[in-house]
Copies of this chain bind each other. A is one copy, B any other.
Amino acid sequence: MTLNVFKKPLYVILFFMDARFSYLSHLKCSACDHIYDADQLQTISPCCARPLLACYDLATLAKEVSRDEISHREATMWRYHEFLPVREPAHIISLGEGMTPLLHAPCLAPQGLEQQARLFVKDEGQNPTGSFKARGMSAAVSRAVELGVQGLVTPTAGNAGAALAAYAARAGLPSHVVAPKDAPHTCIQQARLYGGEVHLIPGLITDAGRAAAETARQRDWFNVATLREPYRAEGKKTMGLELAEQLGWRLPSAIIYPAGGGTGVVGMWKAFAELRAAGWIANDQLPKMIIVQAEGCAPLVRAFHQGKDEADAWPADEAHTQAAGLRVPSAIGDRLILQAVYESGGTALTVSDDSMQQMVCYAAKRAGMLIALEAAATLAAYHTLLATNFLQVEDEVVAYFTGSGLPDLQYVVC
């Protein structure tokens, strides 16, 4: 990939000479803040067996980089390279992910409210591989390449496996994907076409997680399972950085996000904290973080309504939803996700599979957007939250359309 910043006139290069490409400083345990070396391959924290979070020297970044410089750069998530973990531009494995459109879409409000609604949607389906998973995998695979891995493994409920296989192919590395045998066959086919070795197992994503970890150990390949290494969340963080830039360095009243593993929420909440620390957004502007899950698999929503800081696993034999990306009975990032929801004054809710399907059609017919079921869940949630008055029609709301409906369009009935 080429970064346009290197095509600017000489004075810009001179100006940047002291600035670092990445301001990554260290990793810390998300439970106890214990510090780890960011320049070693790391998985979860040895101290607490919890996710490690990437930390940046934001004070120096704030002095050396201005947000106005960003606006000249190429239209990918790597325009925010100072906030990302890759130290050398040559190590970036990119398929052009990020800088997805933020579209004004009041037409997707409930009928009769289109005139007043301040609804925006972020179309993550325009990413490579068709979903937001591309962002996390671009960051994780790039950093893994930088740290010298020889092969990559991931468990997946669907899109993540396709994204890993694509970025591994782009990096020239082998990949191994473990999925529940009832994962969407379009995702499986996609991973295989990219040259990924796919292993289908009985059970759920949590079972696939165990099998993936085992394969990684046996082959000495690197496991990029959600929040079991520090950098997928960094890629997903760029959904939050972009939103701020696209709104003119401010944030909306509320964000609605479909939570499976929930890394998107964790990443965005982290992005907003970093933007505040760097002084790029004001301190009083944080959005309500709203997560939506499927009625048939809602461990985080249940935990939220019980006021808990952690989520008990959803019984595996009761985890049912057509939205494969939401069939995640337990998320290792549960505490971080719930923390974002609580701190932001957000909420958590479930929607039915039927309402997701209806919203797929609503978005297609009214906005010309073909979205995945998981994405449609955000729209169903928006309608519900207007009806229950948690949101008002004049609230500026951004729904994340996390994936494209194109790979599965043959199964959609409207």
The reply on A189 being an interface residue by CB < 8 A is: yes
B95 touching A103, Cβ below 8 Å:
yes
Shortest CB-to-CB span from A16 to chain B, Å, is 16
Residues facing B in A379-410 (CB within 8 A) are 404-407, 409-410
Report the copy number of this chain in the oligomer. 2
Shortest CB-to-CB span from A320 to chain B, Å, is 24
- Shortest Cβ distance from A405 into B: residue: B193
The reply on A1 being an interface residue by CB < 8 A is: yes
The residues of B that contact A7 with a CB separation of less than 8 Å are 248
Size category, A interface: 35 or more
The reply on A194 being an interface residue by CB < 8 A is: yes
Measured CA separation A118–B185 after assembly (Å): 36
Scoring A75, A168, A246, A412 by chain B CB atoms within 10 A of each residue's CB, the highest score goes to A75
Residues facing B in A297-326 (CB within 8 A) are none
Residues facing B in A246-268 (CB within 8 A) are 246, 248
Q: Which of A36-44, A279-287, A366-374 contacts B (4 or more CB under 8 A)?
A: A366-374
A96 touching B126, Cβ below 8 Å:
yes
The reply on A72 being an interface residue by CB < 8 A is: yes
A172 touching B102, Cβ below 8 Å:
no
Interface string of A263-294 (1 = CB under 8 A from B): 00000000000000000000000000000000
B193 touching A412, Cβ below 8 Å:
yes
The residues of B that contact A414 with a CB separation of less than 8 Å are 192-193
A367 touching B96, Cβ below 8 Å:
no
Say whether, besides A169-B366, A364-B195, A123 and B96 are in contact (CB < 8 Å): yes
The reply on A209 being an interface residue by CB < 8 A is: no
The residues of B that contact A172 with a CB separation of less than 8 Å are 107
A194 touching B368, Cβ below 8 Å:
yes
- Shortest Cβ distance from A76 into B: residue: B101
Residues facing B in A50-109 (CB within 8 A) are 71-72, 74-76, 94-96, 99-104, 107
B107 touching A101, Cβ below 8 Å:
no
The residues of B that contact A246 with a CB separation of less than 8 Å are 2, 4, 74
Measured CA separation A130–B168 after assembly (Å): 23
The reply on A190 being an interface residue by CB < 8 A is: yes
The residues of B that contact A167 with a CB separation of less than 8 Å are 368
A99 touching B71, Cβ below 8 Å:
no
Residues of chain A having any CB pair with chain B under 8 Å:
1-2, 4, 7, 71-72, 74-76, 94-96, 99-104, 107, 123, 126-130, 165-170, 172, 185-186, 189-190, 192-195, 246, 248, 361, 364-370, 404-407, 409-410, 412, 414
In order of increasing CB-CB distance, the 9 nearest A-B pairs are: A96-B101, A166-B368, A75-B75, A169-B368, A7-B248, A170-B368, A195-B365, A193-B364, A406-B406
